[in-house]
Amino acid sequence: MLKLVLPSKKYQTTFSRAITEFKAQKKKREIEESLIAEYERSPNFSDFVKKLRGQARGKYLSPGYVPCTTYWLVDGKKFVGWLNSRHYLNERLLAIGGHIGYAIRPSQRRQGYGKLILKLALIKARDLGIKKALVSCDDDNIGSRKIIETNGGVFENKVRTETGRIKRRYWIDLEKAEK
């Protein structure tokens, strides 16, 4: 059964396999690179989970980061993907990041999980009191673009990041979005 859960040690084996999948990709998305780096900086899996859970309370945040709640999409005991639900936007997130970041592990893509995880993320954003959610994706990520648009995303513009990537920015009205 598919559900969102908070990071937990009980998913260590399948999460670690997903990290291996992400690392094996030739082209990684920024959010994937960020998760891999956080995972590799942690001395062990328990510490990694503790950091992710603490970030929702404003702990263990890197400079320039805002509190965010991380959820994992799981199917039974299998890790499928994750999402970051950022509690508010700072200047950088407003420019290029957005309220929500998500990724599906490579072996689980093109099965509808991306559409589902964003739909669930919008519910979490609404629970935080967010009225309009900003979601962005790489300009060449057609799959993510379709996922955002299917979930009510209204294209605003394209911006270039400091690394040269082009991001598409979308706004989703959470008062109108499917509940």
pLDDT above 70 (res 141): yes
Buried b (16+ CB within 10 A) or exposed e, 35-63: beebbeebeebeebbbbbbebbeeeeeee
Token pair of 67, please?
A: 């509190």
Give the pLDDT confidence score for residue 177 in this predicted structure: 60
Write down the pLDDT at residue 37: 83
Helices within the chain (DSSP H only) = 12-24, 30-41, 45-55, 91-92, 113-127, 142-150
Crossing angle of helices 45-55 and 30-41, rounded to 10°: 120
Select, from the ranges 29-33, 147-151, 159-163, the one with the highest average predicted confidence (pLDDT): 147-151
Three-state DSSP class for residue 32: helix
